[in-house]
Amino acid sequence: MKTRIAVAKGDGIGPEIMEAVLNIFEANEVPLEYEFVEMGKSYFDAGHSTGMTEAAKATIENLGILFKGPMETPKGKGVKSINVTARKVWNTYANQRDFRTLNGVQTVFSKAGIQINMTIIRENIEDTYGGIEHMITNDVAVGRRIITRPGSAQVIRYAFEMARRKGLRKLACGHKANIMKLTDGLFLETFYEIAKDYPEIQASDIIVDDLCMKLVSHPEMFQAIVLTNLQGDIVSDLCAGLVGGLGFAPSANIGDNISIFEAVHGTAPDIQGKNIANPTALLLSGISMLRFLGLTGHAATIENALLYTLEKGVHTGDFGDRATKSSNTTEFAECIIANLGKHPSVGGAHGQPNFECKTNSDFTPEKNKITVTDPNIKEEILGADIFVEFTGQPSELAEIAKSKLNDKFELIMISNRGTQVWPTGSVYTELVNQFRIRYEKVDNSELTQRDIFDLAAQVSDAVKVGSVEFLMKFGDKIGYSLAQGQ
């Protein structure tokens, strides 16, 4: 029985490296059947705003697995990256990138005899990748960073399950909760909450800047790390550098219904059409996909042939011994095919499945799923932050803000770029033309949404209001941060 999967060849070097990988699969008689789908730059150019045809979308949703080459996002046409859109629309919430020392791929660590074998799990949907950005004034751009409890729980549980499946002893959470106390704080809190279900795995956390420093000085300290989206993006490229660069970085985007396997690198337009691209990253992604589909024997045979080939010094132009002749993409794939059945002298492939296999055939949703972790939590409105455009001194804005007060509110503070400038501040703090006015309720008042919008309307009579954020309390937890210096 062959498993049907969707395949998108991609743009730039995509078709060349995809052909090389599919030839290797064919030579190993991997029982897959390919449905080639129409996705990528030419489909943007043909007027498909998502970069794919309706038929492609239907095929991918039906089959649940997409094996894709890199795709170009047209610049300056107001379109979003097809790669990011695909991950978000289909809720592939966990991005798994496995990095290991490959014999034949020289790095500073391989030369020093330090073996690297680690997995980065990056949250794949949330964070600044929502792309929710606004110019609030002509000088001030604001982006929303969205971290949710269900979204964090989904990817963190995935990371612990992955660690358990691989028999790892340790999982670290990378974060910046010392600065972003609510967003990264929520991710970190969820991490330790879920860690309780996995007592055999040593859970720890590390601030992301310290993590980067330790990764480049002692990468062998880490087995697996889970991070939020943007930090995970940066840290995983750093890890790609540790094992030889983007040409060796595979990526699996795992969801409950649809999963996408692709290389980390892009379309490499500078070498497109020359048949010199390195297909290793896409091949490693394909090997992960085979394990995901339960084809662990084929995965191990192909991985061993790749490792043997690298160990023998065969290389494309982007790595390896410059004194020996480079193979082109086709020759590199042919060497791997010729080496099917051979084993590297060290660090051979593992036989166990990397992933818990879940495809669309198991579960096709009829409605959008919505998760609320505690629908009965007590909520209270404690006040509002009103963001306004103003060009003047803080004390002048304070007079305006006070003049709009009613008996339900008191004026607490004014900040500029997150730093308190009233009632106290420093004359050395430089200002831009957007301020935040914080109002809180007076002791015994009870606030409604209408109270907040009425107050904002009053303020808007005097200054331009850009946006309003409620100051909330959930249960016994305050749901907003203090200003610097407050």
Q: Using the rule CB under 6 A, is 236 a contact of ligand NAD?
A: no
The answer to whether residues 410 and 442 touch, using CB atoms and an 8 Å cutoff, is yes
Contact segment (CB under 6 A) with ligand NAD among 159-167, 201-209, 259-267, 396-404 equals 259-267
The gap from C-alpha 295 to its chain's centroid, in whole angstroms, comes to 27
Distance CA 260, CA 66 (A): 5
Question: Tokens standing for 312?
Answer: 């023998």
**Minimal CB distance to ligand NAD: which residue?**
266
Which residue from 270, 366, 374, 446 is in contact with ligand NAD, where contact means CB under 6 A? 270
Binding segment (CB under 6 A) for ligand NAD, from list 69-77, 112-120, 154-162, 299-307:
69-77
Is residue 310 part of the contact set for ligand NAD (CB under 6 A)? no
Task: Output 227 or 282, the one with its CB closest to ligand NAD.
Answer: 282
Task: State the sign of the Cα–Cα–Cα–Cα dihedral 147, 63, 248, 222.
Answer: positive
Among 70, 255, 320, 383, binds ligand NAD (CB under 6 A): 70
What Cα–Cα distance (Å) separates residue 2 from each residue in 25, 29, 69, 162, 295?
Answer: 13, 10, 22, 26, 11
- Name the residue nearer to ligand NAD (CB basis): 160 or 319: 319
Please tell me whether the peptide bond between 31 and the residue prior to it is cis, using omega within 30 degrees of 0: no
> According to the binding rule CB under 6 A, does residue 124 interact with ligand NAD?
no
Binding to ligand NAD by residue 247, rule CB under 6 A? yes
- Calpha distance 68→260 (Å, rounded): 7
CA dihedral sign of residues 80, 82, 83, 85: positive
Residue 27 to residue 325: CA distance in whole angstroms: 25
CB of 281 to ligand NAD, least distance (A): 6
* Residue 265 makes contact with ligand NAD by CB under 6 A: yes
Q: Could you say which residues in the range 5-44 bind ligand NAD, by CB under 6 A? A: 13, 17
Told to check if 277 binds ligand NAD by CB under 6 A, we report: yes
Q: Given the DSSP bridges, would you call strands 379-389 and 409-416 parallel, antiparallel or unpaired?
A: unpaired
Contact residue for ligand NAD among 18, 239, 268, 386 (CB under 6 A): 268
Q: Which is nearer to ligand NAD, 6 or 271 (CB)?
A: 271
Residue number, 72 or 256, with CB nearest to ligand NAD: 72
Residue 250 interacts with ligand NAD (CB under 6 A): yes or no: no
CA–CA separation, 251 and 266 (whole Å): 12
288 binds ligand NAD (CB under 6 A): no
Which one of residues 266, 347, 353, 485 is an interface residue with ligand NAD (CB under 6 A)?
A: 266
List Cα–Cα distances, 352 to 51, 155, 182, 300, 361, in angstroms: 36, 21, 38, 9, 22
# residues near ligand NAD by CB under 6 A: 21
Q: Identify whether the C-beta of residue 60 lies closer than 8 Å to the C-beta of residue 90.
A: yes
Q: How far is the CB of 260 from ligand NAD (least distance, A)?
A: 9
CB nearer to ligand NAD: give 156 or 335.
335
By C-beta, is 253 or 434 nearer to ligand NAD?
A: 253
Q: Which is nearer to ligand NAD, 123 or 451 (CB)?
A: 123
- The nearer residue to ligand NAD, 53 or 202, going by C-beta atoms, is 53
State the nearest-atom distance from the C-beta of 202 to ligand NAD, in Å: 33
Among 37, 52, 71, 118, binds ligand NAD (CB under 6 A): 71
CB of 264 to ligand NAD, least distance (A): 7
Answer for the pair 384, 449: CB distance below 8 angstroms, yes or no.
no
Q: What is the CA radius of gyration of the chain?
A: 26
Shortest approach of ligand NAD to residue 20 CB, angstroms? Answer: 10
Contact between 73 and ligand NAD by CB under 6 A: the answer reads yes
Q: Can residue 72 be called a binding residue for ligand NAD (CB under 6 A)?
A: yes
Could you say whether residue 83 binds ligand NAD (CB under 6 A)? yes
Return the number of the residue (59 or 267) whose C-beta is nearest ligand NAD. Answer: 267
Residues near ligand NAD (CB under 6 A): 13, 17, 70-73, 83, 246-247, 262, 265-271, 277-278, 281, 318
